[in-house]
Amino acid sequence: MSIGEFELIRRYFVRDKITVPGHPSVGAPQVILGIGDDAALLEVPEGERLVVTTDTLVAGRHFLPNADPGDIAWKALAVNLSDLAAMSATPLAVTLNLTLPEADESWLAAFSTGFWNLADIYELPLVGGDTTRGPLSVTITAMGSVEQRYALRRSTAQIGDVICATGTLGDAGAGLALALHAFKQASLPLASDATAAALADEALLNLSDDHQDYLLDRLNRPSPRINLGVGVRGFASAGMDISDGLLQDLGHLLAASGVGAELEIDNLPLSDALKAYARTSLKAHAQARDWALSAGDDYELLLTIPLDKWHQLDNAPAIKSKLTAIGKVTKTHGLRLTKQGKAWEHEGLAGYQHF
């Protein structure tokens, strides 16, 4: 017997007050009215502005058809929280719209577990949404808040600013190569647009299980940098998240700010897993660099920080240790890539294309 919409919502997306006392989905102070009415009522902290973002993930475009439901849910929420982090906002609440070919309860149980595993980290309430029948897709809208003076924009980078990135870059690109290899090995049909991604070579497939698991986890369960986004309040002049690839996203930031940049490719932050792959050959080294520059899906933060405030961050090592300086903002428009300070040219790096 097929589960109905209201029972689906009650069973998987409404937390019970008795079994989970004080859970944010029923007890968050910012939620005046949550699931169960025509719309939610939220309290925005005094002196702060509401920040709203939304993203849709579609099967076959943003995740493979055989993807784990928990991974789909985690990533759908993570990409929205990453947008809040890029604005230096604190999360308040989310809504979830879920389009399903059928109401498969085992799939829904795994999906809701993945969703709550991430939502609970930030004590984030689900305050509404919708379910309907159709090709699999997930749309999440996330709401946060921040004082207006601290809200980061793409359009406020300043000449002389240090360009920096959180975490490491390129992991999701390598993870996608591994995922596509496994998908093809299972003789499953592959969408034509997915074939544009770099496929796993022997060196990548020969990495340790720990390294491969790490790269796949970075693809499937990215970590939104909420705490770092809040931590750079008063330091960063501009910011955005890296979703479509470093070069493409930095290009958007530079265009919005009306400035240029120099980017030092030898300073790109790579994980131990990607470094292990890069050490196997010159070809692998170039591929690892290309993933870091253009693969996207890492959901790290791209920030510009005035030089004096960059030095002030020496007094906040918990923040600065998670940032890597990769370039500087320049007066001359355009993006200039350098290698050990000298001009470096490379063709064919585009970043993710939405259409």
Query: Is residue 36 included in any domain, yes or no?
Result: yes
Instruction: Write the pLDDT tens digit of every residue in 63-104.
Output: 998 899 999 999 999 999 999 999 999 999 999 999 999 888
What's 87's DSSP letter?
Answer: T
| 254-285 pLDDT, tens digit each | 999 999 999 999 999 999 999 999 999 999 99
Provide the phi-psi class of 34: left if phi over 0, else alpha when psi is between -120 and 50, else beta: beta
Name the band, by pLDDT with cuts 50, 70 and 90, for residue 37: confident
CATH of the domain at 229: 3.90.650.10
> Quick check: is 157 in a domain?
no
pLDDT band (50, 70, 90) for residue 20 = very low
Please give the Cα distance from 174 to 261 (Å, whole number).
Answer: 26
Which amino acid, residue 228? Answer: L
Supply the mean pLDDT for the chain: 90
Give the pLDDT confidence score for residue 35 in this predicted structure: 84
pLDDT band at 137 (very low <50, low <70, confident <90, very high): very high
Q: Under the phi-then-psi rule, with left for phi > 0, alpha for psi from -120 to 50, and beta for the rest, what region is 22?
A: left
CB 170 within 8 A of CB 298: yes
Predicted confidence band of residue 322 (pLDDT cuts 50, 70, 90): very high
Torsional sign, CA 31, 33, 35, 38: negative
Per-residue model confidence (pLDDT) at position 19: 35
Are residues 57 and 182 both part of a single domain? no
User: 136 and 59 in contact (C-beta within 8 Å)?
Assistant: yes
Residue 131's pLDDT band (boundaries 50, 70, 90)?
Answer: confident
- How far apart, in Å, do the first and last CA atoms of the chain sit? 39
Say whether pLDDT at 49 is over 70.
yes
Residues 142 and 221 grouped into a single domain = no
Query: Tens of pLDDT along 199-240?
Result: 778 999 999 999 999 999 999 999 999 999 999 999 999 999
Question: What is the residue range of 57's domain?
Answer: 5-150
CATH number at residue 14: 3.30.1330.10
- Residues 27 and 96 both lie in one domain: yes
Q: What is the pTM of this model?
A: 0.90
Q: Are residues 108 and 242 in the same domain?
A: no
What tokens does 313 get? 């961050």
